[in-house]
Amino acid sequence: MKLSFELNGVAQYLEADPGERLLSLLRRIGMKSVKEGCDTGDCGACTILIDGRAVRSCLMVAPQVQGKRVTTLEGLGTVDDPHPLQRAFLEAGAVQCGFCTPGMVVIAYELLSRNDDPTPDEVREAIAGNLCRCTGYVKIVDAVLLAARWKREGRWR
Amino acid sequence: MAVETRRRSAVGQSVTKVDGPSLVAGKPVFTLDLDLPGALVGKILPSPHAHAEIVRIDTLEAEAVPGVRAILHFGNVPRVPYTTAGQGWPEPSPYDTVLFDHKVRFVGDRVAAVAAETEEAAREALGKIRVEYNVLPAVLSPEEALADGAPTIHDEPDSEGIYDPKHNIAAAVDIPVGDVARGLAEAPVRAEATGEIPYSQHAAIEPHCVLAYFDEAGRLVLRTSTQVPFHVRRIVARVVGLDPARIRVVKPRIGGGFGSKQEILLEPVAALLALRTGRPVRMSYTRQEVFVASRTRHPMRVAVRLGAGNDGVLQAVDMEVLSNTGAYGTHALTVLSNVGSKTLPLYNKARHLRFHGKAVYTNLPVAGAYRGYGATQGYFALEVAMDALAEKLGLDPVELRRRNHIRVGETSPIFEKIGEGREGTAQIIRSCALADCLRIGAERIGWKEKRGRRRENGPWVHGVGMACAMQGSGITGVDMAAATLVMQDDGSFRLLVGATDLGTGSDTILAQIAAEELGVAVDRVLVYSSDTDFTPFDTGAYASSTTYVSGNAVFRAAQDVRGQILEVAGAALGEPPEVLELAGGAVESRRSGRRLTLAEVGHRAMYVTDQKQIAATASFACPESPPPFAAFFCEAAVDRETGVVRVERFVVAADCGTAIHPQGAEGQLEGAVLQGIGHALYEEMLFAPSGRCVNASFFDYKIPSSLDVPQIEAILVPSEEPTGPWGAKSISEIGINGPLPAISNAIYDAVGVRMVRAPFTPERVAAALRMGGGG
């Protein structure tokens, strides 16, 4: 089938099998930040935004993004121009192996887009579906709170 | 080596992780992020039986599936006994495994492998391989394995190094010091505890995966998620029958390992599929396969008996272990040995010791290396027994540890008696801040105010518990690391290390260790690691070795390069190297104040006078293994009605010598503690009577989420390890040893029941409460 959607601000027109997993499709077209940790929606490593809402791309198929706005971690920032959330993850030491990081940053982005002054418990609740085995989540929560503070201080772009 | 006291500009700073910017940007840095045109997909056919002979295997129908390019099974693959353990040489694990056997030994064991153009074709082909099994009686517990007349799991004639194959004993140890029976009999106060730890999983979020492909020269490249690239090269070459010189192993970023990626699992299969087809091959375990077919912690029963004087000083310690190694003996002997070697030296006052045990085969998933590596199992029983001993003595548990723990200048006979599958190495403790850890941790948790004063809040009863632990820093007589440090013409450096950063941050701390010696900012040291073609040898990332062993190699290389820089600069300035100082990216003369930037030094060495490459390669072999120490304190609440245990606060105070990267060291502790809390409260692989794992998913096997995290406080308590790079010791494993006993002891403080079987599920705690533990 022909698929058209917006990916990180750029219009996409491509062929996709209607049964193709969204996770596979995004990786196939180069969005390698979208990670596969379980394929059952339990780990959150494949978290992306569709029209600003966080979803697990392993549980979706290609046609579900028809006409939608898709954001992956690549759309938030780059090595040379990182998003404040990405900077906060580095500064707080929230990255160990980095495999869960893309999903964590995306889910945190969704949280901060609706609440720029979350409590630590609200952060923990928001990221509860994203598993990390390295950090004990301590510094991930710190990172999200740090980014939230920066946002409130007007230090986001 | 002597640690010079010099201003530290790089060491001790929580600099940005060198790989951090690409990781947070989601760059394609992991194994499977590399697209290889024309890559086939490899998949493995798992055994549906716990124990069976393969009578016949028919692949005709599977081969006819469009897109199938190769099928491997016991009938068409050379039979080479090996171990998947991924250890140095000589390998202490038995050679009891072949790539594909005519016998399967657990549900999930490898039966065949397929390479096909697509994942769908590979799956379809797996379904069409016809296998006729002769199902054998299965052994599903260590007790059954040791029973008279138990089926023999390893009856193949070509295995080597199994302790007693006929009786399913993979490994056994019995190490006496003094006379433990007499010591226990004569001790005025005795206590004991038997701890049981079930099957549990590393659960790194990135599944095991590998890409096998051929380079321009036709050499085989394995890009793999491994902790041991050099061992992969050596072992894969032997197993697939290829000259090692034709194999390159590249480790990109790894999505967590914790020991499970020390195992060499997919690499030889992918290599063979690539060799058979001449095509690139991509393989990855599914999450279910990770659970069932990768590796687990060794389930164990550890019985500790303590005898002490009325003053609380230990006189005798007996530790007996029954370890379940599953279907294969990978790490069976060494994990078993570590149960004693990493625990018994901590309390070195006892004259009479005995460490004895067996690791036995069962028809269950295969246990392997897992963070803590036996010490976790040992400390659970030891530290619960110490808590019981403290109670009998009427002594504060912290005070009991104080009276018994090892100190600087002391040793333990265990260091020499137990090594990695052989004798160990005598060593003296040169750094130990455990006394400070105990004091600081106790203060932080409010030990004096809370211990023995259970606080009640409805059905919830609060208690506090504590435990201590040590680990090691590398394996003496085994581990070796090398580093090559090269100066560029712009005055920056390239650091090439065989060391394997598996998310632990070792690339960063190795750059810091070099930068400190070279007097430059960390970002002037470009690290390239873990590529068997381009980096020098390193035994790999296990046994808490990297900071200490690889770090010492880097330190030595940096010392050498520093000397060369001063020589070149001295010649340029016409001054002797002794009056020159290297700092702030420049060489400066203390005598004349004249200065040369490193860029000028590099430029001169390469283009101007006495042209040469400023570079050095250095090695470090591990003559001793300085232990890090830690004290753990936990406040837990127990619901007396439901048996639910809630960890409210967890404090760990740890001595890792100098923390090269404090934030990273804290992160290691926090992550290890939460894994340990998972082990204590809910993690357990469960099996059907057929031997099939019934909770092989993140949905059914719970690892802690962000909602399960108590307040974790990681405190770094400094010491100075004179043999470590800039005074450093290890930190990555020790944190996992404390939660099981500290939580168990907190539960006892709260409700008076000793939880000795992990995990402490509500059912078990409630049952224990009903059985009439106090309350």
The interface predicted TM-score of the complex, written ipTM, equals 0.98
> Which chain B residue shows the shortest CA-CA distance from A85?
B24
Q: How many residues does chain B have?
A: 775
**How confident is the model at residue A157, as a pLDDT?**
67
**Alpha-carbon gap, residue B546 to B538, rounded angstroms:** 9
3-state helix, strand, coil in chain A (%, to 5): 40, 15, 45
Residues 47-66 of A with CB under 8 A from B: none
**How confident is the model at residue B420, as a pLDDT?**
79
Q: What share of chain A in percent tops pLDDT 70?
A: 99
Task: Report the gap between the CA of A2 and the closest CA in chain B (Å).
Answer: 21
> Which chain A residue shows the shortest CA-CA distance from B286?
A38
Which chain A residues touch B204 with a CB distance below 8 Å?
97, 99, 133
Nearest CB neighbour to A99, from listed B30, B667, B712: B30
Residue B675: which of B195, B293, B202 has the closest Cα?
B202
For the purposes of burial, counting CB atoms within 10 Å of the CB of B213, is it exposed (0-12), middle (13-18) or buried (19 or more)? Answer: buried
**How confident is the model at residue B6, as a pLDDT?**
53
**Alpha-carbon gap, residue B84 to B236, rounded angstroms:** 10
CA distances from B328 to B86, B95, B153, B267, B387 (A): 14, 9, 9, 18, 35
Residue B256 and residue A96: Cβ atoms within 8 Å? yes
Residue A86 and residue B24: Cβ atoms within 8 Å? yes
Task: Report the gap between the CA of B536 and the closest CA in chain A (Å).
Answer: 23
Residue B667 and residue A135: Cβ atoms within 8 Å? yes
Residues 80-99 of A with CB under 8 A from B: 82, 86-87, 89-91, 93, 95-99
CA distances from B64 to B75, B115, B125 (A): 18, 13, 8
Place domain A2-75 in its CATH homologous superfamily: Beta-grasp domain (3.10.20.30)
* Domains, chain B, ordered by start: 20-28+479-621 (3.30.365.10), 34-136+206-255+260-293 (3.90.1170.50), 300-475+624-770 (3.30.365.10)
Which chain A residues touch B714 with a CB distance below 8 Å?
138
**How confident is the model at residue B423, as a pLDDT?**
85
Which chain A residues touch B256 with a CB distance below 8 Å?
96-97, 99, 133-134
**How confident is the model at residue B379, as a pLDDT?**
98
**How confident is the model at residue A18, as a pLDDT?**
96
Q: Exposure pattern of B260-295 as b/e (b: 16+ CB <10 Å)?
A: bbbbbbbbbbbbbbbbbbebbbbbbbbbbbbbbbbb
* Chosen from A76, A89, A99 to mutate, greatest number of chain B CBs within 10 A: A99
Residues 480-539 of B with CB under 8 A from A: 502-505
In B146-288, DSSP assigns E strands to 169-177, 189-197, 209-214, 220-224, 247-250, 281-284
Task: Report the gap between the CA of B731 and the closest CA in chain A (Å).
Answer: 13
**Do the Cβ atoms of B424 and B416 come closer than 8 Å?**
yes
Residue A123: which of A136, A110, A133 has the closest Cα?
A110
Q: Is B90 left (phi over 0), alpha (psi -120 to 50) or beta?
A: beta
Q: Where exactly are the structural domains of chain A?
A: 2-75, 84-152
Within B297-374, residue ranges assigned H as helices are 332-341
**Do the Cβ atoms of A41 and A59 come closer than 8 Å?**
yes
Does the domain spanning A84-152 belong to CATH 1.10.150.120?
yes
| ∠ CA B157-B160-B161, rounded to 5° | 135
**Alpha-carbon gap, residue A42 to A107, rounded angstroms:** 14
The type of residue at B590 is: R
The stretches in chain B having pLDDT less than 50 are 1-5, 774-775
| Whole-number CA gyration radius for chain B | 27
